[in-house]
Amino acid sequence: MPPLRRAMALALALALSAAAAGGHVAVTARHPRRQLASGSGRHNDSTTTAVTTLGCRSKSNRAPSIVCVSHSHATSATVARSKMAAAADLRASFREVLLSRRRDLQVPLAVEHGSPVKHPLYQGSPPTGPSEAMESCPRKEVENFREKLIEENFYIITESGEQGRVPVLLLKINDTTPKRKPVIVLLHSSYKCKEWLRPLLEAYASRGYISVAIDSRYHGERANNNTTYIDALKSAWRNGDTMPFIFDTVWDLIKLGDHLSEREDVDPCRIGITGESLGGMHAWFAAFLDTRYSVVVPIIGVQGFRWAIDNNKWQARADSIKPLFEEARIDLGKSEIDAEVVEKVWDKIAPGLDSQFDAPFSVPMIAPRPLLLLHGADDPRCPVSGLQEPVSRAAKAYEEVGSADKFMFVAEQGIGHQMTANMVKQASDWFDRFL
């Protein structure tokens, strides 16, 4: 069987089609402009993290107005309301964790001019050549593509201090129609940088998207040398004052959402997010927290952190940032890294990652926004056994709101921790279909 067919054959039926359980969804126009509803009353800034009741119209029904999604069944309305309240609460808790380690609670959203990076920093061996997967994203033939491509390099300021300056690379075609374009935010994997994503950025730009990449914290322009990321992880373990693993970059992505939503060339209802590995984790958590990310494709990123600890499957994940766990092992006086070391590290550097915000709880809260999870069936860092619970919970959440067709989980057979050309194509098709 060709790989794509094989992958599709394996696409766990869990996610697919089960007849929409109750809850007919009605869509009605409500406000002339997009509005954001606060679900918690605990907000203290412009950051939108508890949006639940109002949002953008879905693709099949799009119009330049705001919609309210309501359920016609009394029972499903009650279920939906309690789910929304639960989602708002979990988002508020996550937002509080993110806020707890900001240098300043809030800085005004500011943009600074940047310039192209001539020698991008890879922490480790730089790539030796083009990657088949990266080059495989569908492109559209655009006459004089190079001349028509507009490249923007800039920084958005998300907090004070060196790491509070997020380098952004944005590509789009120079044309005026449509005036507001859909956006794809692409996020790189560990030790890489935004420049690595250029083939994907160009492919999406050729097809009329605005494509955007950032350097994650302690990566690319936010790093000085080969150990910056590892140094930051160790420092967080020692001092507990930053969250270099996933969470601080999620904060940046909320601010990026603020920036994108304000741009005149962006359709704020059509911002998609995807990423590979660490970038997949960033896409997952940013979308969980910020509903402005309206179509979501984490690639080899979602995993059960608690499941891995409870099932002795944490090793491959720990190995990807091993010096951190070595340091913790020594501090804890152990002869080898074990589940307790792993648990203590997560608690210190990413509180809640292996408990309340873990995949079984946060992934379903991306519903009803179109969500595609792409994985390798043999990936030791994101073992598929650990995805059973989050995937079945998510499938249920999508069914409950009559959106079973907007959730899909694919595990590609014979593939480990690797983003394949199939995954790139499937992500691309998903965005074309839903964004």
Ligand X SMILES: *[C@@H]1O[C@H](CO)[C@@H](O)[C@H](O)[C@H]1NC(C)=O
d(CA 423, CA 375): 8
For residues 64 and 126, which CB has a smaller minimum distance to ligand X in the complex? 126
Identify which of residues 8 and 173 has a Cβ nearer to ligand X in the complex: 173
Among 228, 242, 294, 403, binds ligand X (CB under 6 A): 228
Which residue, 76 or 163, has its beta carbon nearer to ligand X? Answer: 163
Closest to ligand X by CB, 93 or 227? 227
At residue 348, φ and ψ (nearest 5 deg) are -80, -45
9 vs 431: CA distance, rounded Å: 21
Cβ-based nearer residue to ligand X, 16 or 105: 105
Owner of token pair 């043999």: 378
Interface size with ligand X, residues (CB under 6 A)? 15
Considering only residues 17, 100, 224, 239, which one is a binding residue for ligand X as defined by CB under 6 A? 224
- Contact of 389 with 304, CB cutoff 8 Å: yes
Residues numbered 125-164 forming contacts with ligand X, rule: CB under 6 A = 125, 150
DSSP β-ladder status, 266-276 and 210-214: unpaired
Distance CA 278, CA 250 (A): 11
For residue 218, the minimal CB distance to ligand X (Å) is: 7
CB of 93 to ligand X, least distance (A): 14
Stretch that binds ligand X, among 86-94, 121-129, 308-316, 415-423 (CB under 6 A): 121-129
Answer for which of 40, 46, 131, 226 binds ligand X (CB under 6 A) is 226
Tell me which of 9, 77, 105, 332 binds ligand X, using CB under 6 A. Answer: 105
Using the contact rule CB under 6 A, the part of the chain among 46-54, 217-225, 247-255, 400-408 near ligand X is: 217-225
Q: From 120-128, 185-193, 306-314, 349-357, give the range in contact with ligand X by CB under 6 A.
A: 120-128
Residue nearer to ligand X on the CB measure, 96 or 429: 96
Residues within window 168-207 making contact with ligand X, judged by CB under 6 A: 174
In the complex, minimum distance from the CB of residue 42 to ligand X, in angstroms, rounded to a whole number: 7
Q: How far is the CB of 119 from ligand X (least distance, A)?
A: 9
Q: In the bound complex, what is the minimum distance in angstroms from residue 196's beta carbon to ligand X?
A: 15
Nearer to ligand X, 226 or 392 (CB): 226
Applying CB under 6 A, does 44 fall inside the site for ligand X? Answer: yes
Out of 89, 151, 231, 389, which residue is the one contacting ligand X (CB under 6 A)? 231
- State the nearest-atom distance from the C-beta of 223 to ligand X, in Å: 6
Report the nearest approach of ligand X to the CB of residue 170 (Å): 12
Strand order in the sheet with 25-29: 25-29, 66-71, 54-56
Minimum gap (Å) between residue 314 Cβ and ligand X:
26
Task: Find the part of the chain contacting ligand X (CB under 6 A) among 21-29, 69-77, 224-232, 327-335.
Answer: 224-232
C-alpha to C-alpha distances, 412 to 114, 190, 376, 396, 409, nearest whole angstrom: 39, 21, 5, 22, 10
**Inter-CA distances, 125 with 1, 20, 301, 421, Å:** 35, 48, 22, 22
Q: Indicate the residue among 179 and 334 with the shorter CB distance to ligand X.
A: 179
The minimum distance between CB 405 and ligand X, in angstroms, equals: 39
Nearer to ligand X, 30 or 43 (CB): 43
Position among 225, 241, 312, 335 found at the interface with ligand X (CB under 6 A): 225
Taking the complex as a whole, the smallest distance from the CB of residue 105 to ligand X amounts, in Å, to 4
Give the shortest CB-372-to-ligand X separation in angstroms: 33
Strands 54-56 and 66-71: antiparallel
Give CA–CA dist 306/353, Å, rounded: 8
From 38, 46, 227, 320, residue interacting with ligand X (rule: CB under 6 A)? 227
Q: Site residues (CB under 6 A) for ligand X? A: 44, 105-106, 121, 124-125, 150, 174, 223-228, 231
